[in-house]
């Protein structure tokens, strides 16, 4: 009923005249109309919201809600102070009329923190949660507004990783598992006496992977003079190392399928970024003497931990466009999640090491490894790859000067001065990979 009425109000002409009685209501409504999401609603919709609101005055120490609660009330702080306590023990005070208090105090369900009154008294607007949800959805749909919506915004980046670890350890959030076919191919490829026929026999048991590898063998990137029609022929053309790389590529791509249309774009963007890092790492490897296939895996899995973040968001934040905040999670912060994900994947040690250091611009392999003798490692390669991607995408504002990055001094050599630039080579490879 409420949703139909809100739809009707949104569909009415913007030139409609409001009755004089509405003007009286708006005077009473004025404080509530200044809160998000009501500030972006039309006046008639704001008046409707007023009929669902209740003014509540609570004394010091009064509990508004506990972390984990799934109640049907939302609070907006008008005056006074409240204490907000996160699950990691950090506490913050919010005061009425502050920018942080212009939003619902805890919109997400279950509640993400505990809140109590911290001043002698505190005054709130109290509304049903489903009403606030409807107002937020209507605001985004009709006005194309993407405001920071709830107080969780202020704690999102600081505590997200801790909350994910807590949910993983408690079993509420499952770790990402690599598809079985990828693990089988990896295991059989690691055996020294494995033949191409053995690999083909393993792949052919997975119909989806078989089709993808045959298509890859016939793609402009790998096709030959004759068309490939069988898995055996595809394995012979591509070889053991490339087959393993492509199986990981296709298997990982499946992991980035969004659980809903709401998050389809952000899952797709996360996958696209993984492919970009893999191809850039491969391109840099060919210029600096590293194994290009291992470098590809380093880039592909570098932020595989973002899958845990995306799973958490889809579970807890799907109705709020918080996913825009994901880009603020740094490479170093994401590493912990990535380690959680691949702990059971038995990947090369080089790939695991890159998770810890590949996003640290000041990483110096000489300091981390006394046996390096000044030689760069895959973490150095990943640092340079990430820097080049940032520069290419015009996102270099917070990057240190290139000549101050230890990895760049080791990786960038005379081969980077070739007639074909690294960026041109990368874009060519990325375009070719995009066909698959």
Closest CA to 57 of 82, 29, 30: 82
| pLDDT at residue 58, as a whole number | 95
Q: What residues contact 119, with CB distance under 8 A and at least 6 apart?
A: 60, 80, 81, 82
* pLDDT of 65 over the 80 cut: yes
DSSP output for 113-133: SEEEE-SSEEEEEEEEHHHHH
Same-domain check for residues 133 and 211 = no
93: left (phi over 0), alpha (psi -120 to 50) or beta: beta
> Region 239-255: what's the mean pLDDT?
90
Take residue 267 and report the two structure tokens written for it: 């899952």
Asked whether the CA dihedral 12, 13, 15, 16 is positive or negative, the reply is: negative
**Which among 109, 135, 150 is the end of a domain?**
150
* Residue 434 phi, psi (nearest 5): -65, -20
Contact 410, 380 (CB under 8 A): yes
Q: Which has more confidence, 282 or 334?
A: 282
Same domain, 93 and 7: yes
Q: What is the CATH number of the domain that holds 85?
A: 2.60.120.10
* pLDDT higher than 50, residue 321: no
Residues 383 and 253 in one domain: yes
Confidence category of residue 236, pLDDT binned at 50, 70, 90: very high
Q: Quick one: pLDDT at residue 263?
A: 74
The model's confidence at residue 106, banded by pLDDT at 50, 70 and 90, is confident
Q: Do residue 233 and residue 373 come from a single domain?
A: yes
pLDDT confidence of residue 61: 95
Is 89 part of a structural domain of the chain?
A: yes
CA distances from 192 to 24, 102, 188, 189 (A): 83, 63, 9, 8
Q: Is residue 243 part of a domain?
A: yes
Q: What is the mean predicted confidence (pLDDT) over 249-264?
A: 83
Q: What would the pLDDT profile of 263-300 be if each residue is shown by its tens digit?
A: 778 788 888 989 999 999 999 999 998 999 899 999 99
Express each pLDDT in 52-62 by its tens digit.
Answer: 888 899 999 99
Do residues 196 and 51 both lie within one domain?
no
Distances (CA, A) of 345 to 185, 246, 337: 12, 16, 14
Facing residues of 127 across strands?
A: 74
Band of pLDDT at residue 172, cut at 50, 70 and 90: confident
User: What's the number of domains the chain is made of?
Assistant: 2
CA 320 to chain centre: 14
Please give the residue that has the higher pLDDT: either 142 or 347.
347
Position with higher pLDDT, 360 vs 395: 360
For the chain, first and last CA: distance in Å? 47
Residue 328's pLDDT band (cuts 50, 70, 90): low
Mapping DSSP to helix (H, G, I), strand (E, B) and coil, where does residue 84 land?
strand
Give which of 254, 268, 245 is closest to 179, Cα–Cα. Answer: 254
Same domain (yes/no): 374, 415: yes
- CA dist 37 and 125 (Å) reads 13
Q: Give me 429's structure tokens.
A: 């490879």
* Cβ atoms of residues 283 and 430 within 8 Å: no
Predicted confidence (pLDDT) at residue 2 exceeds the cutoff of 60 = no
In a domain, 234, yes or no: yes
Q: Which residue has the higher pLDDT, 41 or 251?
A: 251
Structure tokens given for 251 = 């298997």
**What burial class does residue 258 get, using C-beta atoms within 10 Å of its C-beta: 0-12 exposed, 13-18 middle, 19+ buried?**
middle
Of the pLDDT bands very low, low, confident and very high (cuts 50, 70, 90), residue 90 is confident
In a domain? residue 165: no
- Round to whole Å and give the CA distance between 9 and 333: 44
- Residues whose CB falls within 8 Å of the CB of residue 235, separated by 6 or more in sequence, listed in order: 196, 199, 200, 203, 213, 243
Same domain for 270 and 324? yes
* 221 & 330 share domain: yes
Beta carbons within 8 Å of 282's beta carbon, 6+ residues apart? 292, 293, 295, 296, 299, 429
Return left, alpha or beta for 202; rule: phi > 0 is left, psi -120 to 50 is alpha, else beta.
Answer: alpha
Determine the pLDDT at residue 237.
93
One domain for residues 403 and 289: yes
| The pLDDT of residue 234 is above 60 | yes
Res 327: pLDDT: 55
Spatial CA neighbour of 129 closest among 77, 75, 54, 73: 73
Is 157 part of a structural domain of the chain?
Answer: no
Q: Are residues 99 and 239 in the same domain?
A: no
> Which of 150, 169, 196 corresponds to the end of one domain?
150
Distance CA(327)–CA(304), nearest Å, equals 14
Per the structure, the complete domain to which residue 397 belongs is given by 180-433
* pLDDT-based confidence at residue 316 (cuts at 50, 70, 90): low
Does residue 219 sit in the same domain as residue 99? Answer: no
Q: Look up the pTM and report it.
A: 0.62
CA pair distance 9, 45, nearest whole angstrom: 6
Q: Where does a domain end: 101, 130, 150?
A: 150
Residue, of 427 and 47, whose pLDDT is higher: 427
For residue 75, tell me if it sits in a domain.
Answer: yes
> Is residue 404, in this structure, part of any structural domain at all?
yes
Measure the CA–CA gap between 146 and 127, rounded to whole angstroms: 21
Structure tokens at 132: 């606030």
Write the pLDDT tens digit of every residue in 361-374.
999 888 766 555 67
C-alpha torsion angle, residues 133, 134, 136, 140 (rounded to 10): 140
The structure tokens listed for 156 are: 């999102």
Q: For residue 318, what pLDDT is reported?
A: 43
In a shared domain, residues 146 and 188 = no
Radius of gyration of the chain (CA): 27
Is the pLDDT confidence value at 29 over 50? no
Supply the DSSP string of 160-229, one letter for each residue. HHHHHHHHHHHTSSPPP---HHHHHHHHHHTSTT--HHHHHHHHTTSHHHHHHHHHHHTSTTT--SS---
Residue 380 has pLDDT above 90, yes or no: yes
Any idea which of 10-19, 38-47, 211-220, 354-363 has the lowest mean pLDDT? 10-19
Other Cβ atoms within 10 Å of 128 Cβ, number: 15
Residues comprising the chain, all counted: 436
Cα–Cα nearest to 251, from 301, 199, 295: 301
Confidence label for 16 from pLDDT (cuts 50, 70 and 90)? very low
Residue 294 domain-assigned (yes or no):
yes
Over residues 411-434, the pLDDT tens digits come to: 987 777 766 688 888 988 888 776
């Amino acid at each position: 009923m409420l949703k139909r009425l809100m739809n009707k109000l949104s569909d009415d002409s913007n030139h409609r005249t409001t009755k004089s009685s509405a003007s009286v209501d708006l005077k009473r409504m004025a404080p509530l109309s200044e809160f998000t999401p009501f500030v972006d609603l039309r006046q008639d919709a704001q008046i409707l919201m007023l009929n669902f609101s209740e003014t509540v005055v609570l004394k010091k120490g009064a509990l508004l809600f506990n972390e984990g609660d799934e109640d049907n009330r939302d609070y907006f702080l008008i005056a006074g102070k409240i204490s907000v306590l996160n699950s990691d023990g950090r506490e913050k005070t919010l005061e009425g009329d502050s920018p942080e208090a212009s939003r619902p105090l805890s919109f997400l369900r279950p509640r993400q923190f505990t809140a109590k009154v911290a001043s002698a008294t505190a005054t709130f607007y109290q509304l049903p949660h489903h009403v606030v949800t409807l107002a937020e959805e209507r605001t985004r749909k009709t006005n194309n507004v993407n405001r920071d919506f709830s107080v969780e915004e202020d704690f999102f980046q600081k505590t997200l990783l801790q909350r994910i670890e807590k949910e993983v350890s408690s079993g509420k959030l499952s770790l990402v598992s690599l598809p079985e076919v990828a693990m089988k191919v990896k295991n059989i490829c690691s055996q020294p006496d494995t033949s191409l026929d053995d690999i083909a026999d393993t792949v052919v048991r997975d119909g989806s992977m078989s089709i993808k590898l045959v298509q890859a063998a016939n793609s402009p990137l790998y096709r030959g003079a004759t068309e490939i029609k069988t898995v055996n022929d595809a394995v012979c053309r591509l070889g053991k190392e490339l087959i393993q790389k492509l199986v990981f590529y296709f298997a990982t791509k499946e992991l980035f399928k969004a659980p809903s249309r709401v998050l389809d774009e952000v899952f797709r963007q996360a996958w696209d970024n993984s492919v970009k890092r893999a191809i850039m790492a491969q391109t840099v490897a060919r210029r600096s003497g590293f194994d290009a296939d291992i470098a590809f895996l380093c880039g592909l899995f570098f932020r595989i931990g973002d899958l845990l973040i995306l799973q958490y968001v889809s579970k807890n934040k799907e109705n709020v466009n918080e996913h825009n905040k994901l880009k603020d999670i740094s490479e170093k912060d994401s590493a912990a999640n990535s380690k959680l994900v691949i702990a059971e994947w038995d990947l090369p040690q080089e790939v695991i090491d890159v998770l810890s250091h590949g996003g640290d611009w000041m990483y110096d392999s000489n300091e981390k490894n006394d046996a390096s003798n000044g030689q760069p490692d895959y973490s150095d390669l990943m640092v340079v790859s990430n820097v080049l991607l940032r520069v290419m995408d015009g996102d270099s504002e917070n990057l240190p000067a290139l000549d101050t990055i230890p990895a760049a001094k080791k990786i960038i050599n005379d081969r980077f001065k070739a007639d074909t630039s690294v960026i041109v080579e990368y874009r060519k490879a990325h375009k070719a990979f995009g066909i698959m």
